[in-house]
């Protein structure tokens, strides 16, 4: 037992982190009563919810385009449909894998089994994630400005110092990992535009959920709150951000968006449900990926 815990301590820590965050979220909900949560859920407009699902699916296609551009420019002859299949399969797998990069591991394994060059696939995945983080970094001021307007200047200065250090390390890693594409600025611009499209529709999906409970929050404030939540979930203390994402988003919606605890918990939970729904095509594509792998192995 002790040996198993030692070998799997990171997974155990992430599991405990998710449980702790979910527990805190439940406490937040209980403060207003369970009935308030169910009341907020009943208020959600089905029409807005369905449009939010559509918006998130569009965002996924922009994410596919981001990776596809990077792979094609690196010399991989891969059709857009196959890139889509690998991406959605990775998104679906990330619902169950223990880290926020679990989906990337699934994408890499699938691409390698299909016969694509391992080094290029790995480099493109690293570049894909870094371009995604760069896009989120561009939107970070939308969240930092409202946060800095809150009380607690000391904690904010500490957080800013940590973000500055993270940002400096991120720029260094980015330059090292994007060596293949630095000589192709048009490719990087196309990939960055794709990630900005991805972000815009994610923000729109959450904005529509808020509209669905008759609560107007400025689109750019929604963008800032989700961006902050994104960076918080990168901290490896939970399983795929489970619990941490919901708790962080709920906290920001209360303190910046003016929602009640039950309303913020409703939006946070529905956001998680949206991402799960948007990943479901991965379950449909998985048999096709496996069949393609078998066909490749039989050649």
pLDDT at 222 over 90: yes
Candidate ranges 179-188, 196-205, 208-217, 268-277; pick with highest mean pLDDT: 196-205
- Distance, CA of 104 to chain centre: 12
Q: What is the pLDDT of residue 237?
A: 59
Residues in the chain: 299
Confidence of residue 272 (pLDDT cuts 50, 70, 90): confident
Q: What is the pLDDT of residue 19?
A: 59
pLDDT at 13 over 70: no
What is the rounded distance in angstroms from the CA atom of residue 14 to the CA atom of residue 173? 24
For range 4-28, the mean pLDDT = 52
pTM over 0.75? The answer is yes
Confidence of residue 95 (pLDDT cuts 50, 70, 90): confident
pLDDT at 264 over 50: yes
Angle at 83 between CA 234 and CA 69, to 5 degrees: 80
What is the rounded distance in angstroms from the CA atom of residue 248 to the CA atom of residue 227? 11
- Distance, CA of 147 to chain centre: 21
* pLDDT tens per residue, range 149-159: 776 543 454 45
What is the rounded distance in angstroms from the CA atom of residue 173 to the CA atom of residue 179? 10
What is the rounded distance in angstroms from the CA atom of residue 22 to the CA atom of residue 28? 10
The set of residues, in sequence order, having a beta carbon less than 8 Å from that of 18 and lying 6+ positions away, is 238, 239, 242, 243, 244
39 secondary structure, DSSP code: H
* pLDDT tens per residue, range 42-85: 777 889 999 999 999 999 999 999 999 999 988 888 999 999 99
Count of beta carbons in the 10 Å neighbourhood of residue 231: 16
From the number of C-beta atoms within 10 Å of its C-beta (0-12, 13-18, 19+), residue 176 rates as: exposed
If we measure between CA atoms, which residue out of 255, 199, 254, 205 comes closest to residue 230?
A: 199
- 246 or 97, which is more confident: 246
What is the rounded distance in angstroms from the CA atom of residue 136 to the CA atom of residue 129? 11
Backbone angles phi, psi at 191, to 5 degrees: -65, -40
């Amino acid at each position: 037992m002790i040996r198993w815990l030692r070998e799997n301590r990171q997974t155990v820590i992430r599991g405990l982190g998710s449980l702790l965050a979910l527990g805190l979220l439940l406490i937040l909900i209980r403060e207003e009563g369970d009935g308030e949560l169910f009341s907020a859920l009943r208020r959600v407009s089905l029409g807005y919810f369905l449009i939010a699902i559509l918006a998130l699916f569009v965002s996924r296609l922009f994410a596919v385009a981001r990776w596809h551009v990077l792979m094609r420019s690196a010399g991989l002859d891969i059709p857009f449909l196959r890139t889509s299949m690998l991406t959605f399969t990775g998104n679906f797998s990330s619902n169950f894998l223990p880290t926020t990069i679990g989906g990337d591991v699934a994408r890499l394994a699938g691409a390698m089994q299909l016969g694509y060059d391992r080094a290029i696939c790995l480099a493109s995945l690293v570049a894909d994630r870094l371009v995604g983080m760069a896009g989120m970094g561009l939107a970070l001021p939308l969240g930092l400005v409202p946060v800095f307007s809150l009380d607690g200047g000391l904690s904010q200065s500490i957080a800013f110092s940590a973000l500055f250090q993270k940002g400096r390390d991120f720029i260094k890693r980015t330059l090292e990992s994007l060596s293949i594409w630095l000589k192709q600025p048009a490719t990087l611009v196309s990939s960055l535009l794709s990630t900005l499209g991805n972000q815009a529709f994610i923000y729109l999906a959450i904005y529509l959920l808020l509209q669905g409970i008759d609560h107007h929050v400025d689109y750019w404030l929604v963008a800032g709150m989700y961006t902050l939540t994104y960076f918080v979930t990168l901290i490896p203390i939970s399983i795929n951000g489970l619990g941490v994402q919901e708790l962080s988003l709920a906290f920001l919606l209360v303190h910046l968006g003016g929602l009640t605890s039950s309303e913020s918990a409703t939006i946070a939970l529905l956001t998680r449900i949206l991402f799960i729904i948007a990943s479901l095509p991965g379950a449909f594509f998985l048999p096709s990926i496996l069949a393609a792998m078998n066909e490749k192995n039989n050649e």
